[in-house]
Amino acid sequence: MRRTVIPAAALCIISGLLLGVGWAAAASVDSLTEYFPLAPGTAWIFRTNTHGEIVMRVGETARVGSHDCRMVETIVGGNTTQRECYRVTAEGVYAHQRTYPAGSVTLSPPQRMLATPVIVGETWQWKGRIDNQPITMNFTWARREATTVPAGTYQTMQLYFVGQLGGGVRIQSWRWFAPGIGMVKEDSVITQGTQTIRIYAELVRVATSK
């Protein structure tokens, strides 16, 4: 059976929404930071279908171009596999850079991952380049619903996005966000021809360091 190789651009997109805005209309930086907790040391532990348990941990502030942003590390089996740099504005949450063991990817322009107002039916689009590929992503705050994960049951807002990459690769992703917590669930599908890869994650717990 032919092995499916996920393009670097697809991995960069799929990995980019592991934290986010919760279920509430937000119109200021303060309200966004309430739903996008970036206190250093905060960690989200997820159960996944690809790597067992993974940890997303907030790190230090970094400078990317002319902007300051907060680093969020992905830890798998005790090893840091990815570092993402996020910036919060009144309009949304932007990803500026993602760093992997093999190198860094700077998103041009910064990728608007989450947007205000957080209301059902709100849509936005991101056009940019990842790994030298032109990409267009369409995002929608889709619906409100109760969502149960190992960490508990939450009233959430579901985010849906879809995009087409080079080589006939299509990405669809669903994310569920809870107020005061961030993302609690992810279900993403990458399709290329007859090959399909599903990436799934559920929140197990949130931890903070003193």
Answer yes or no: is 165 within a domain.
yes
Answer yes or no: is 210 within a domain.
no
Answer yes or no: is 85 within a domain.
yes
Answer yes or no: is 21 within a domain.
yes
* Secondary structure in 3-state letters for 78-107: CEEEEEEEEEECCCEEEEEEEEECCEEEEE
Answer yes or no: is 22 within a domain.
yes
Over residues 139-157, the pLDDT tens digits come to 999 999 999 999 999 998 8
Range of the domain at 136: 8-205
pLDDT category at 128 given cuts 50, 70, 90 is confident
Domain tally for the chain? Answer: 1
Q: What's the sign of the alpha-carbon dihedral 193, 194, 195, 196? A: positive
Answer yes or no: is 98 within a domain.
yes
What does pTM read for this prediction?
0.83
Q: Does the structure show a pLDDT above 80 at 17?
A: no
Residue-level length of the chain = 210
CA distances from 87 to 66, 77, 184 (A): 12, 27, 20
Over residues 20-32, the pLDDT tens digits come to 333 333 334 445 5
* 115: CATH: 2.40.360
Answer yes or no: is 2 within a domain.
no
Q: Computed over its alpha carbons, how large is the radius of gyration of the chain?
A: 16
pLDDT category at 160 given cuts 50, 70, 90 is very high
- Encoding tokens for residue 39? 């206190």
